[in-house]
Structure 1
Amino acid sequence: MPLTLSHTAPTLLIKKSAFERVGLTRAQFDEALSLTADEFRVEAGLIAIGPLVGEDTLSDLIAQLEELGLAYYDDFFEFSGNWPDWLKLFVMDAGV
Structure 2
Amino acid sequence: MTLVVKRRGHREAFDERKLYASVYAACASAHYNEAGCERAAAQMTARVKSIVKGRKEINSKEIRSRVKEELGKIDENVEFFYDKHLPNLKKL
TM range (shorter): 0.3 to 0.5
Structure with the higher fraction of residues in strand conformation: 1
What TM-score results when the alignment is normalised by the length of structure 1? Answer: 0.36
TM-score, L = length of structure 2: 0.37
